[in-house]
Structure 1
Amino acid sequence: MEIHQLLYFVAVAETGGFSRAAQRCAVSQPSLSQQIIKLEHELGQSLFERLGRTIRLTTAGQALLPQAQQLLAQWRSIKQHVSDSVEQHVCRLALGIIPTIAQHFFPHGSAAFQQHYPRTTLTIVEHTTSQLLIQLIDYSLDLIIASAPIEHPLLQIESLFHEPLLVALPTTHAYAQRSALQLNDLYHMPLLALHDDHCLSQQVDAFCYEQHLEPQIVGRFTNLATIQRCVAAGLGMAFVPQSLAQTEPHPNVVYRRLVEAQPHRRIVAAWHHQRPPSNSVLALLKTNLVQSQKAEIKSQNS
């Protein structure tokens, strides 16, 4: 027994005919009649007496009608409750975000999301991309915000925005007075970088390879704050996200663009293809987490 069969049965009983019931249910009359027949076979009882062009309920049909009407009323109530809950963002959302984004992008976006959707329970997990992907694939997370490339047959990806990478130098460096740098300026500079399991490190390595740069890596670290302090101490240069220079610049560090080739990273959202974003997830992507940072990056580029 299926809901649409009960819908058709009640429609026939209330309208008094198969043709009018089919119009009410927006289906063809043969389809509606076929489902009524299937329902009768399942119950082992005839539900209607067909007397020429008129029909009337059998004893079994009379017994079924109030029960079917009650079940349909409950079904509609359940549908409405679920719809209202989704519209009001009554749910749980587990979000994964990589450290180099979480530190500078997320606090404001998280606060804005909770302000607009206070009935959503938001859980945040900060980790490297590889670890977040594992949790996303096994359904421990609903969504991750990370840096491309992310490739997996079970995932769907949506680009959010591009963020430039800047060259961080100590204020005492000879190039600190320049407004921009050339690629040639970087050839013999010592490089400070994140560990290899960070996607930002992989992007910097790829950029250096593409531009035929062979920097001497003098240190790998777990976070950008340590890298900034090492740059300020004159231990080397580093490629850092523009958001770092915007939100947490170090007083003894300058941030410069490259002229010939501008490294950047693409920020994306990713989710399991069998669990597409709910309205709450889509709403999160529209909060200041993304939109405000887009505006800041655009203003910096203009």
Structure 2
Amino acid sequence: MVDWLNYHHLLYFWMVAKEGGITPAAELLHLSQPTLSTQIQKLEKSLGVKLFDRRGRTMVMTEAGQMVFRYADEIFSLGRELTDAVRGRPSADSLRLVVGVPDVLPKLIVYRILQSALEIEERVQLVVYEGKLQQLLSELALHRLDLVLADSPLTPEINVRAFSHQLGQCDVTIFGTDEMARKYSQDFPQSLNGAPMLLPTQNTTMRRALEQYFDQHDIRPETIHEFEDSALLKVFGQAGQGMIVVPTVIADEVGRQYSLKPVHRIPEIIERFYAISVERRLKHPAVVAISKAVKLNLFVDT
């Protein structure tokens, strides 16, 4: 027997999650708070998961609730698009591009890659989700994402039928404060022995490449902190907690944005960037534009 989803209950949950609680959602829906709470409980029972945790007077979505909210957000967004298309509104002419971005990717790289999609003649609406690569690939396999950006190609052990399209590559540059740049740029790379470093976590391509480079040169920097989020790593670098390593293609922007100075460029370490799709040949107009523009413009000078 098919389990039918009650979309009224899903809508009530979505409104509560968006508005941050039962009270404001009940006012917008013109329902009593007890009625709305009952509908949420029915949805939880039908799905077999708990969607909210109560912390004092605050309702916080559980991990399952966050997943359901994401689906609900897409469902009701598509519903609005359907209505607009039937009524002939201009938004029906726009392209929707849903992209998954692993949190380890530098945000400046992501911006410059996706910017290419906004330069085609058709209007593009970007929907960008951030998460772990394996989770994003699972969503891609279910056709809930058009594209996943990554810093490594798919490997055989990843059980997802998809294809890796290399967008480009560049080497990396170490950055630090003025004082660090003056101190550690001399006698490089031996100067990195004992030097304070802020590194990506162990599950990243960059970390593995750095450790191989350190081993080859018999270097043992001091790992001050480790970060999975590349943006947070740069903020700590800006605060002088340690030196950071960034793709050279965004070196100028990192220096300006975070007030950091280049310590040394490392041509031996190569960062590669990929677009992963379920298509062997890219078809989505915005994705095709990204692939062409990035290869022509983003990585040409590195």
Scaled to the shorter chain, the TM-score interval is: 0.5 to 0.7
Deviation by residue 1:100-155 (Cα, 9 ceiling, x = unmatched): 54621343554442341435543222334333223223332222221124314623
Q: Distance in 2 between matches of 1:130 and 1:174?
A: 37
Q: Distance in 1 between matches of 2:234 and 2:114?
A: 25
Work out whether residues 197 and 224 of structure 2, in 8 Å CA contact, stay in contact via their aligned partners in 1.
Answer: yes
1:227 alignment partner, SS class: helix
Higher alpha-carbon Rg: 1
2:180 corresponds, among 173, 181, 192, to 173
Residue 6 of structure 1 aligns with which residue?
A: none
State the identity as a percent: 18
1:130 corresponds, among 134, 142, 159, to 134
Which portions of structure 1, spanning 4 or more consecutive aligned residues, are displaced by more than 6 angstroms? none
| CA shift in 2, pair 1:114/1:256, >3 Å | same
1:263 alignment partner, SS class: strand
Work out whether residues 95 and 122 of structure 2, in 8 Å CA contact, stay in contact via their aligned partners in 1.
Answer: no
| CA shift in 2, pair 1:130/1:202, >3 Å | farther
1:122 alignment partner, SS class: strand
Residue 219 of structure 2 aligns with which residue?
A: 213
Q: Distance in 1 between matches of 2:210 and 2:107?
A: 19
2:148 corresponds, among 119, 141, 144, to 144
The aligned amino acid for 1:114 is: L
| CA shift in 2, pair 1:94/1:206, >3 Å | farther
Are positions 1:155 and 2:159 aligned together? Answer: no
| CA shift in 2, pair 1:285/1:251, >3 Å | closer
- How much has 1:192 moved relative to structure 2? 0.9
| CA shift in 2, pair 1:212/1:149, >3 Å | farther
The aligned amino acid for 1:147 is: D
1:255 alignment partner, SS class: strand
Residue 227 of structure 1 aligns with which residue?
A: 233
1:65-214 matches, within 5 Å, as 92-99=96-103, 101=105, 103-151=107-155, 152=158, 154-173=161-180, 175-176=182-183, 178=185, 182-214=188-220
Q: Distance in 2 between matches of 1:97 and 1:290?
A: 19
Q: Distance in 2 between matches of 1:294 and 1:136?
A: 26
2:234 alignment partner, SS class: helix
Residue 293 of structure 1 aligns with which residue?
A: 298
Residue 46 of structure 1 aligns with which residue?
A: none
1:217 alignment partner, SS class: strand
| CA shift in 2, pair 1:207/1:98, >3 Å | farther
RMSD: 3.2
Residue 9 of structure 2 aligns with which residue?
A: none
| CA shift in 2, pair 1:226/1:101, >3 Å | closer
Work out whether residues 180 and 243 of structure 2, in 8 Å CA contact, stay in contact via their aligned partners in 1.
Answer: no
Q: Distance in 2 between matches of 1:210 and 1:135?
A: 38
- How much has 1:266 moved relative to structure 2? 0.9
2:262 alignment partner, SS class: strand
Q: Distance in 2 between matches of 1:186 and 1:206?
A: 14
- How much has 1:265 moved relative to structure 2? 0.7
Work out whether residues 184 and 192 of structure 2, in 8 Å CA contact, stay in contact via their aligned partners in 1.
Answer: no
Residue 290 of structure 2 aligns with which residue?
A: 284
| CA shift in 2, pair 1:181/1:101, >3 Å | farther
Work out whether residues 170 and 253 of structure 1, in 8 Å CA contact, stay in contact via their aligned partners in 2.
Answer: yes
Residue 47 of structure 1 aligns with which residue?
A: none
Residue 256 of structure 1 aligns with which residue?
A: 263
* Aligned residue-pair number: 205
The aligned amino acid for 1:267 is: F
Q: Distance in 1 between matches of 2:252 and 2:228?
A: 20
Please, which runs of 5 or more residues in structure 2 have no aligned partner? 1-92
- How much has 1:207 moved relative to structure 2? 3.5
